[in-house]
Amino acid sequence: MNKVRYNELSGMLLNAALCVHREMGPGLLESVYQQCMIRELNMQSVKVRTNVPVPLVYKGYVLTKNYYMDILVEEEIVVEQKAVEVLLPVHEAQIISCLKLSDKKLGFLINFNVPLIKNGFKRYVNNF
């Protein structure tokens, strides 16, 4: 995927998050926002998968436990969603780890429990 497409999809993700937040507001469960984001992205003809398993490999061995991405957009962009009072360093560590484990280049951490969604929308890169 080229940088132009990454930027286009990034804009679509921000727009989807804005629409969902405007419609639903803060204070709901992450699962509600996830369903709304899926619907909003599907309406924009963006391919999404949810709860995508990421195999965990330890010293060359594939473990029996998987990590799960909240949303994978167009098989390239990782979206982790939260509905928390404050984003903590552990939330940022989750998206960074997910990018590394899945070898994806771009990810977003979106916290819907904020008055303005732009304050809860963060971009992360992995060797991009």
What's the domain count of the chain? 1
Measured CA to CA, the distance from residue 128 to residue 126 in angstroms comes to 5
- For the segment 6-11, the average pLDDT, to the nearest whole number, is 96
CA quadruple 31, 34, 40, 42: dihedral sign: negative
Measured CA angle at 98 (ends 105, 124), to 5 deg: 45
CA quadruple 128, 34, 18, 90: dihedral sign: negative
Dig out the tokens for 94 from the structure: 């989750």
Read off the CATH number of the domain in which 9 is found: 3.40.1350
Give percent of the chain with pLDDT exceeding 90.
Answer: 95
**pLDDT tens-digit series, residues 34-74:** 999 999 999 999 999 999 999 999 999 999 999 999 999 99
pTM of the model as a whole: 0.93
Band (128; pLDDT cuts 50, 70, 90): confident
Torsion, Cα of 44, 84, 32, 53 (10° steps)? 70
Cβ-based neighbour number of residue 74 at 10 Å:
16
**Domain, as residue range, for 109:** 3-125
Mean pLDDT in the chain? Answer: 95
